[in-house]
Amino acid sequence: MRKLYLWLPLALFAFFAGLAAYMLTQEKDQFVESAMIGQPLPAFALEPAFDGLPGAAKADFTGKPKLLNIWASWCLPCIAEAPHLEALKRSGVEIIGIAIRDKPADVANFLARHGNPYTRIGSDRISEVQLAIGSSGVPETFVIDAKGMIRYQHIGDVGADDVPTLLAELEKAK
Amino acid sequence: MIRWMIAALLALIALPLAVPVLGQDSMPPAPYAYNQLDDPRLEAEAAALMQTLRCLKCQSQSIADSDAPMAGDMRHQVRARILAGESPEAIRGWLIARYGDYVSYEPAVSSTTWPLFATPVLVILIVVGVLVRRLGKRRDDDAEAKA
Amino acid sequence: MIAEIGLAALWLAAALAVLQMVSGAASLRAAPGESNPLAIYARPAAVVQAFLAVLAFLLLLRAFAVTDLSLKLVATNSHSMKPFIYKLTGTWGNHEGSMLLWVGVLAASGGLLAAFEKRLPERTMGATLAVQGFVALGFYAFLLLSSNPFERLPIPAVEGNGLNPLLQDIGLAIHPPTLYAGYVGLSVAFSLAMGALMTSEVNPAFARVMRPWVLGAWVLLTLGITAGSYWAYYELGWGGWWFWDPVENASLMPWLAATALMHSVSVLAARDALRTWTIMLGVLAFSMSMLGTFLVRSGVLTSVHAFAVDPERGAFILALLGLYIGGAFTIFALCAGAVAEGKRFAVTSREGALVFNNVMLSAILAIVLLGTLYPLLTEAFNVRVSVGPPYFNPAGAIFAIPMLLVMAVGPLLRWKSDSPKRIQFELMLIAALVIGAIALVSFFGRFPLLPLLGLGLAAGLAVAAFLPLRGRNLKRVPVATWGMVVAHFGIAVSLFGMACEGAFSEERLAAVAPGGTEQIGGFAVTLEAVTPIAGPNWTAMEARLAVRQDGGEPVFLTPQARSFWSPPQSTSESALLTRWNGQLYAVIGNQAEDGRWQIRIWWKPFVTFIWYGGLLVGLGGILSIVGRMRVDLKRRSASAKGAQRRADIEALGVAAPQPAE
């Protein structure tokens, strides 16, 4: 009994080894999720990102659940998600974009080349709104309900598989 | 250091699958991303806070140690808010409300972090215990040994 | 053909490791006084294995030297047009090559141990070599089964993929091999500890055998960490020298354990105390180096120095870790109870101070380990937290400050038992220095608490380090004692550098137009021009900064913002101006739209002392090794002469004289 403490190192080590083994089997999650889900969208009013569309503000998220898409013309995965955003638009979803650290000419160029699924695009030149809603990269897509509450966050580019998920989340947010 | 360089080296061959390839924007950095506040006292407050905030786009770096554009934008937020009179802890709280505890290198006592603070206390107790055991009882032993 | 020879050498070496293991284990089964016939193979197996493993490494080195593009490893990591020196260092600038370096050093140290160590009882030596063979076997398996460095390409590549230009740094030549050799030295200490534990030979003779390995490993770790810290400092471009990053912690933890082990093995050698504790630390030190390898290779933690991570290889290392460390702790739990308690000592004695130091070092180790692994623990529950400097600094200081205070006093105490009264004067002096320094600094301004305490402690320690020499004839002080003095002084120097950096650093970030001047720390820094320049595989914008001190002659600094094109990557090449009392650190950033350039300048007073201190600590360790070796050789030649005389006397038919003891 007196020497029971000699087993302590082994016990501690076994705990660590078990934990490490478990973590090795887990997919390493690179994403930082927003802690703002279920919170109201912070107030913001952004200037138009280019001449073609109006800017974006919190006040635009009324009437029905909408998507808030954080993107940029310099972001390569944003090209990949463009057709799927287009598909969402065809399903009657209203997508409001926020262009991060972007120039009007680049935005116009991108939309001319890859299509324009947006009804409004605000220009966030210093990632202010991005930080305010807890987004940590481009592209990210948020579901905002009619009361301006953040309901769901999709991190990374929207793929074909994600379209039904987003539609369902929009439905849920009604 | 070396590890980081080896990573860069192997990124050539293996990593494009793992990490989305991001382009670079050509925008100038936010006003306070690379510029200090004029008031040295406020700047010191901001600098101390920035050292303890995590750059979310980087691998284990504080926003004060990173050239990532997003780190620059976060530095701008910190300096601008300090200038507007917010306290550093309020800014930290604002960021934690958005990104969770992950964004702060300074863990606060909470339901998920209490062992970080309980363990040092436990270690102190163990240390005292071990020292008393190893050193404290020697006198008695010596006495016994002599007896 | 050459590569096939290398591969064959590795397989042979693995087979010999099996032989070494079996033969070594056989010596354990021999009856007392007899020797098992199988046991004679362990030593030769270790020696030949060392030759084979080193040969394999040299062959890979050759393949890199001549850029043998039929090897996959060379083709993916090298390039025929690379400077020769970087072709060579590129050998260990990748996973497979660095693991081969690891087993090469491991086998070489096993060979040295087997060839030259004759002081231990044969049974203990057999057990030690068996453990060493077992450890080596695991790494051979790792190398051969999952990371074969000699893999051929079906069709030789036309040209290599090239080495990332970032890797072409002298830091790569020094930092990893040094750390690796340190880790491996700890593996020998581990084998010896297990051998002694299994054969119940935990005694001063064993400690004297173990000590040079521990000291050597500790010196290498010290120098490796020092070099790595300086490398990160000038390479990452933000002036930081320690980030409490997982990879850094992974190298710090073995150092902490090795530091404790080194002190405890000294107590065991000199006083036959702390037996179980020394064994425990021997296991702990090696487990920390394996844990470090696991953490950085598996990618379970995120690091700024993150590198080629591979969960599968991580799993292999974890399995080895479980096998060796789990096994070692099990044997420890079973056998340690049988180790008799060592000699006793009073609280106020050299041993008492060393125990205190050991316990504090272990506590710091526990804190660093907890802080490093905690994010891993919470991620298992899908919660992400960050643990950084605001946690490590104060939590570590709780234990480091008392440890440093006792460290100042400990070397002044006598072994076994001493009275504090005897060293009254020294105690008062140290206390006065610590308090005086803190008071003096506080007089000049408000500084953060920890750097302030650091300055006080550094002042006290710097003087205290030399107090053991007081009243002694300096010519007759043993070299090993000089080693201790220098190492302790090095800690004070390093601490002084850290505290100054923390308390007095100045930072200047500004957008500067060419011709503009910024003031920092008594320097006037003028941006004279920014010019584009081109290197072999990069282009850069180079700033020409004229630095004037008190209106004197300017010194020029040329920081660069480099863009490499293969792979596309930008780096900041910082420019450093080193003065005796600090460093000016300059970095150039991007150009703003109005044409001004982003310049970052730091004045870091006495920051260089951090690394000077590290070098001094390493030097102290080397002095200790030299001192111990000299004493050891003298003792050996003396006992050899004695044996010779006895043999002569016996040959003369005279009755042998009674032994003096």
Name all chains with 3 or more CB-CB pairs below 8 Å to chain C. A, B
Per-residue pLDDT for B135 more than 90? no
Classify residue B83: in a domain, yes or no.
yes
Q: Do residue B89 and residue B146 come from a single domain?
A: no
Over residues A152-161, the mean pLDDT reads 91
Return the pLDDT at B20: 31
Q: Do residue B77 and residue B93 come from a single domain?
A: yes
Give C373's DSSP letter. Answer: H
Q: What are the tens digits of pLDDT across the range C391-403? A: 999 999 999 999 9
Over residues C261-276, the mean pLDDT reads 90
Q: Do residue B54 and residue B116 come from a single domain?
A: no
Q: Do residue B102 and residue B115 come from a single domain?
A: no
Q: How far apart are CA C62 and CA C66, in angstroms?
A: 6
Over residues C537-563, the mean pLDDT reads 89
Return the pLDDT at A32: 83
Q: How far apart are CA A136 and CA B70, in angstroms?
A: 8
Highest mean pLDDT range out of A33-37, A72-76, C141-145, C218-222? Answer: C218-222
Q: How far apart are CA C205 and CA C190, in angstroms?
A: 16
Ordered by start, the domain boundaries in chain A are: 45-172
Q: How far apart are CA C168 and CA C178, in angstroms?
A: 17
Q: Helix, strand or coil for residue C198?
A: helix
Q: What are the tens digits of pLDDT across the range B48-61? A: 999 999 988 877 88
CATH numeric code, A45-172: 3.40.30.10
Q: How many CB atoms lie within 10 A of CB C470?
A: 9
Q: Do residue B52 and residue B121 come from a single domain?
A: no
Per-residue pLDDT for B146 more than 60? no
Q: How far apart are CA C386 and CA C375, in angstroms?
A: 6
User: Is there a contact between A127 and B80 (Cβ–Cβ < 8 Å)?
Assistant: no
Q: Which residues contact B55 (CB under 8 A, 6 or more apart)?
A: B61, B62, B63, B65, B66, B68, B70, B71, B74
Return the pLDDT at C163: 64
Over residues C109-115, the mean pLDDT reads 91
Query: Of C506, C618, C626, which is closest to residue C212 (Cα–Cα)?
Result: C626
* CA-CA-CA-CA dihedral for B7, B10, B11, B13, to nearest 10: -170
Q: What are the tens digits of pLDDT across the range C165-221? A: 666 677 777 888 898 899 989 999 999 999 999 888 888 989 999 999 999 999 999
Over residues B30-45, the mean pLDDT reads 88
Q: pLDDT-derived band of residue C501, with 50, 70 and 90 as boundaries?
A: very high
Q: How many domains does chain B have?
A: 2
Query: Of C425, C70, C238, which is closest to residue B34 (Cα–Cα)?
Result: C238
Return the pLDDT at B98: 92
User: Is there a contact between A118 and A69 (Cβ–Cβ < 8 Å)?
Assistant: yes
Residue of B67, B103, B107 with shortest CB distance to C391? B107
Q: Do residue B81 and residue B134 come from a single domain?
A: no
C522: left (phi over 0), alpha (psi -120 to 50) or beta: left
Per-residue pLDDT for C408 more than 60? yes
Q: What percent of chain C has pLDDT over 70?
A: 95
Q: What percent of chain B has pLDDT over 70?
A: 73
- State chain C's mean pLDDT as an integer: 88
Please give the ipTM for the structure prediction. Answer: 0.88
Task: Using an 8 Å CB-CB cutoff, list chain B residues near A72.
Answer: 25
Put simply, the answer to whether C232 touches B59 (Cβ < 8 Å) is no
Q: What are the tens digits of pLDDT across the range C588-641? A: 988 877 888 989 999 999 999 999 999 999 999 999 999 988 888 888 888 888
Q: How far apart are CA B53 and CA A52, in angstroms?
A: 38
More confident residue, B12 or A167: A167
Q: Do residue B34 and residue B79 come from a single domain?
A: yes
Over residues C16-41, the mean pLDDT reads 81
Give the CATH number of the domain where residue B92 resides: 1.10.8.640
Return the pLDDT at C656: 46
Q: Distance, in angstroms, between C32 CA and closest chain A CA?
A: 28
Return the pLDDT at C521: 85
User: Is there a contact between C559 and C543 (Cβ–Cβ < 8 Å)?
Assistant: yes
Per-residue pLDDT for C160 more than 80? no
Rg (chain C; Cα; Å): 27
Domain of residue B129 covers 109-147
Among A41-50, C258-267, C431-440, C561-570, where is mean pLDDT lowest? C561-570
At A160, list the tokens: 């074909």
Residues across chain C? 661
Q: Distance, in angstroms, between A102 CA and closest chain B CA?
A: 7
Q: How far apart are CA A169 and CA A124, in angstroms?
A: 26
Q: Distance, in angstroms, between A131 CA and closest chain B CA?
A: 8
Residue of A76, A102, A134 with shortest CB distance to B22? A76
Q: Given 1.20.120, 1.10.8, 1.10.10, 1.10.1660, which CATH number is that of C169-345?
A: 1.20.120
Q: How far apart are CA C611 and CA C223, in angstroms?
A: 9
How many CA within 13 A on the CB side of residue C412? Answer: 24
Q: What are the tens digits of pLDDT across the range C319-359? A: 999 999 999 999 998 888 888 777 778 888 888 899 899 99
- Selected for mutation to probe chain C from A4, A10, A25 (highest C CB count within 10 Å) is A10
At C38, list the tokens: 């199988």
User: Is there a contact between A95 and A67 (Cβ–Cβ < 8 Å)?
Assistant: yes
Per-residue pLDDT for A1 more than 70? no
Return the pLDDT at B15: 30
Return the pLDDT at B3: 43
Which residue's structure tokens are 């000592």?
Answer: C345
Task: Using an 8 Å CB-CB cutoff, list chain B residues near C247.
Answer: 1, 3
Over residues C35-51, the mean pLDDT reads 86
Query: Within an 8 Å CB–CB cutoff, is residue C240 touching chain B?
Result: yes
Q: Do residue B129 and residue B139 come from a single domain?
A: yes
Q: Do residue B42 and residue B96 come from a single domain?
A: yes
Q: Do residue B70 and residue B113 come from a single domain?
A: no
Rg (chain B; Cα; Å): 24
Q: How far apart are CA A167 and CA A93, in angstroms?
A: 8
Classify residue B19: in a domain, yes or no.
no
Long-range contacts of the stretch A8-16 (C-beta < 8 A, 24+): A9/C280, A9/C283, A9/C284, A9/C329, A9/C332, A9/C333, A10/C326, A10/C329, A10/C330, A10/C332, A10/C333, A13/C287, A13/C325, A13/C326, A13/C329, A14/C326, A16/C373
Q: Do residue B146 and residue B119 come from a single domain?
A: yes
Q: How many CB atoms lie within 10 A of CB C209?
A: 26
Q: What are the tens digits of pLDDT across the range B47-104? A: 999 999 998 887 788 998 888 888 999 999 999 999 999 999 999 999 999 998 889 9
Per-residue pLDDT for B12 more than 60? no
Give A27's DSSP letter. Answer: P
Q: How far apart are CA B38 and CA A52, in angstroms?
A: 39
Q: Cα-flanking dihedrals φ and ψ of residue C539, to 5°?
A: -120, 160
Q: How many CB atoms lie within 10 A of CB C4?
A: 11
Q: What share of chain A is helix, strand, coil (3-state, %, to 5)?
A: 40, 20, 40
Q: What is the DSSP string of C606-625?
A: TTTHHHHHHHHHHHHHHHHH
Ordered by start, the domain boundaries in chain C are: 1-167, 169-345, 419-504+609-637, 507-605
Per-residue pLDDT for B10 more than 50? no
Put simply, the answer to whether C228 touches B2 (Cβ < 8 Å) is yes
Over residues C306-312, the mean pLDDT reads 65
Q: Which residue of B has its CA nearest to A30?
A: B19
Return the pLDDT at C567: 62
Q: How far apart are CA A43 and CA A148, in angstroms?
A: 10
Per-residue pLDDT for C380 more than 90? no
Q: pLDDT-derived band of residue A47, with 50, 70 and 90 as boundaries?
A: very high
Return the pLDDT at B2: 43
Residue B58 carries which side chain, given as an amino acid letter? C
Query: Of C167, C315, C541, which is closest to residue B12 (Cα–Cα)?
Result: C167
Interface of B with C in 36-75 (CB under 8 A): 36, 47, 51-52, 54, 58-62, 64-67
Per-residue pLDDT for B6 more than 60? no
Q: How far apart are CA C291 and CA C41, in angstroms?
A: 32
Per-residue pLDDT for A132 more than 80? yes
Q: Do residue B35 and residue B104 come from a single domain?
A: yes
User: Is there a contact between C443 and C461 (Cβ–Cβ < 8 Å)?
Assistant: no
Return the pLDDT at C229: 92
